[in-house]
Amino acid sequence: MAKVEEGEGQHPYAFHVSGPRNFSSPNWRDVISSSWRDGNYKRTVIACFIQAVYLLELDRQENKREDTGLAPKWWKPFKYKLAQSLVDERDGSIYGAILEWDRSAALSDFILMRPSGAPRAVLALRGTLLKSPTIRRDIEDDLRFLAWESLKGSVRFSGALEALKTAVDRYGSCNVCVAGHSLGAGFALQVGKALAKQGVLVETHLFNPPSVSLAMSLRNIGEKAGFVWKRFKSMLPSSTGAEIIESNCDIVEKIVNGELKKWTPHLYVNNSDYICCYYTDTADASTSTASSGKENANPALGQVAAKLFVMSKGKQKFLEAHGLEQWWSDDLEVQLALNNSKLINRQLKSLYSLPTPAPQLQVKLNRLR
């Protein structure tokens, strides 16, 4: 949720006023040693992209052009460009954007190729704006998420999913990421999950995600494995089960080593933010924490495939704790909690549990394992 301020002269949301201080624009050295490999740098840039979407909507409301608007200053320093604005047809508001690597801008600074780790395209989704032209539709989706624990009925869900699919088709899933803040994190989660069910894994970054709704939304994230399993069982007449087992062993192997298990959303939460703080509820005393530089890679069966970055500065006011700007602040200190969230454990548990196999398939499954 973004707090809107008015001012004259230097706008409080101008990049040089409220943007990150200690950052470097891409340069030719990034071809050799990419800044995008640094998790802190990636988090900062992606948060800036989401801020740009907030400002795209504010620029629209104030009838600002690209050359006078605030938004472009939040993606141009990182050599990206606006490829598409996602517009809510109900009120004309901008709720998301596709930002693409700007090769021309990069070449002008002698960057001959895209730095390693930098996505070709980013789908960024904003949260609620407390300003009259868009607040009605924003709050409507907030309530939809809270009451129904789903955003699939929203116009914005359909638009975001279609935009993400288009980007993936064009650049490939490994070159695209999706990110959102607050309500936008809810959309980012659900469109990312929708593609994950199809075996398309897109890097996902969720800033201050709403934990109450997400708890139920991710509970069925393993639906793909169950669906494939049911389809596979329906193909097995009892008289020819053995032959079909052999001809479809690749399907069984896909269930055991399903691609969906590799989907690892990144969640950024603040202990003082009551919207997302439930992610910090500890699952058990034996879980460990580590610095933000470590990875939770290749989780074993039964573990959680998610990265939970927790920031705590003691007691903070809600607007500060829920604000997006904290994620690029100079004094930011975060910890990566490994398998330490009760909520994540419950949400992603179904990723690592398979339906009970039919007796005639148990031997085949055991061999694959």
Residue 130's pLDDT is what? 84
pLDDT single digits (tens) 122-150: 999 999 998 888 888 888 888 877 776 67
111: tokens are 């960057």
Contacts of 32 by beta carbon, 8 Å cutoff, 6+ apart: none
Closest CA to 57 of 74, 40, 44: 74
| Cβ-contact 126, 2 below 8 angstroms | yes
| Cβ-contact 199, 260 below 8 angstroms | yes
pLDDT single digits (tens) 174-216: 999 999 999 999 899 999 989 988 989 999 999 998 876 444 4
Please give the domain boundaries of the chain with CATH numbers for all domains. 15-222+263-352 (3.40.50)
Residue 237's pLDDT is what? 53
104 sits in which H/E element: helix 103-108
Residue 351's pLDDT is what? 46
Pairing of β 288-291 and β 334-338? antiparallel
Residue 289 β-bridge partners? 337
Residue 303's pLDDT is what? 52
Residue 178's pLDDT is what? 98
| Cβ-contact 223, 258 below 8 angstroms | no
Q: What distance in Å separates the CA atoms of residue 260 and residue 223, rounded to the nearest whole number?
A: 10
From residue 287, give the alpha-carbon distance in Å to each of 306, 338, 342.
14, 7, 11
Residue 263's pLDDT is what? 84
Category of 83 on φ-ψ map: left (φ > 0), alpha (ψ -120 to 50) or beta: alpha
Residue 109's pLDDT is what? 85
170: three-class secondary structure by DSSP? helix
**Average pLDDT for runs of 10 along the chain of length 369:** 50 89 75 83 96 96 90 95 95 96 91 90 94 84 76 90 97 96 93 91 93 50 49 51 42 45 84 77 49 40 66 80 90 71 60 50 53
Q: What distance in Å separates the CA atoms of residue 80 and residue 77, rounded to the nearest whole number?
A: 8
